[in-house]
Amino acid sequence: MSTTGITSEKDRANAPNTGLEGIVVARTELSDVDGQAGVLTVCGYDIEELAHNATYEEVVHLLWHRVLPTANELQVLQERLISYRRLPEETQIACAAAARRMGPMDALQFIVGSLIVDDPDPEDESYDLNLMRAEKLVARVPVIVAMYHRLRSGQPIVEPREDCSIAANFLYQLTGAEPPVGEVKGLNTYLVTVADHGMNASTFSARVIASTASDMYSAVTGALGALKGSLHGGAPGPALEMIEEIGEPERAEAWMREAVASGKRLMGFGHRVYKVRDPRAEVLYEAAVALADETGEQEALALAREVERAGVQVLAESKPGRNLNTNVEFYTALLLRELGLPQDLFTPTFAIGRTAGWTAHVLEHQKSGRLIRPQSEYVGPRGLRYTPVLER
């Protein structure tokens, strides 16, 4: 019998070579992705409800505790997160080394691994201590990204502030200037929107590591490794390159038709789960509109809208039934560029938001989960006999 439950040659022939599609690997209270209806639920709330109303810190509390915080609980959480912003000396040294030698995602993975240095008891896997580790990670990942960028750019480090939100402090540390209210709101919306998204590749990686009774830092470091890939968190940059290459709304449809005809992949379109428009795309589109209304950058938005329209139309004609719509990366690219972020910081900024979800999944799995150990179906040869090396 096959180890995957496929019991006949016919079953084997019809078995798709897919990445656990349709297989439930965990029960969770954190988020649910309904790809047919285009609905993302986070702890009971539609993502639009949270993105339009909540701060990132509120969503962090929601993911960790399953309820939105009271005013007092939110203040306590904010104070704790602020208290953890200053990085250990060893982590600052790691950040300086990474800025000289590494790209952003390699650097982030390397530096986050160093955060265990000031852990009070690395062997203690109690819930309370893991919650403290989660708080440190959420507080420090934005500081790491900003410090790394300043160092690699040859600019002086900007110390974190103690009087502003995660979104505002990140923008402040990146630029050294007071961020405009509209930019803070736009980034906050983005962080909320990407905080958690079902059993995606990086979250699954984090849960697998957590299921081995490994530590929180290792789980998040592993998640960063998965996020680095272009099929997961690495797509917003290429989506922006595509929009910029098209350049003018009038060129969009012809460019799309030529790209599809030549087999080129359209970045920012299609999703492994969603068969309709990604609900996060709508949220981020609205955030980009609001920011453009404040900055006056309407041309880029008009271009993106036409690229989206043309892309959806051309894909519907050339790949009928595939339902290839815009995904979260499409308007992520536009919004983050409007915020002034360099393209290679798009994925690290995604990681800032998703750290909330990763740590929540680790907490959930360590509390009630078991070792994740899937099986595989062997399709190689059997019965081979060893031949001495000189006879091969």
Choosing from 58, 183, 329, 364, which is the catalytic residue?
329
Q: What is the Cα–Cα distance from 181 to 186, expressed in whole angstroms? A: 9
The residue among 294, 373, 389 whose CA lies nearest residue 339 is: 294
Ramachandran angles phi, psi of 120, nearest 5°: -65, -25
Choosing from 61, 271, 361, 365, which is the catalytic residue?
271
The residue among 284, 277, 173 whose CA lies nearest residue 236 is: 284
Give the other-Cβ count within 10 Å of 248's Cβ. 11
Q: Name the strand (E) or helix (H) holding 41.
A: strand 39-42
Burial of 283-297, coded b for 16+ CB within 10 Å and e otherwise, reads bbbbbbbebbeebee
DSSP labels for 113-156?
Answer: HGGGGG-S-TT---HHHHHHHHHHHHHHHHHHHHHHHHHHTT-P
Q: Helix count (H) and strand count (E) of the chain?
A: 17, 3
Which residues make beta-bridge pairs with 46?
A: 41
First-to-final CA distance of the chain: 33
DSSP labels for 182-232?
Answer: HHHHHHHHHHHHTS--SS-HHHHHHHHHHHTT--HHHHHHHHHHHHTSTTT
The residue among 282, 85, 276, 272 whose CA lies nearest residue 166 is: 85
Asked about 329 being catalytic, the answer comes back as yes
Q: Name the strand (E) or helix (H) holding 275.
A: none
Ramachandran angles phi, psi of 354, nearest 5°: -75, -15
Give the other-Cβ count within 10 Å of 49's Cβ. 12
Q: Is 139 exposed, middle or buried (0-12, 13-18, 19+ CB in 10 A)?
A: buried
Asked about 248 being catalytic, the answer comes back as no
**Active-site residue numbers?**
271, 329
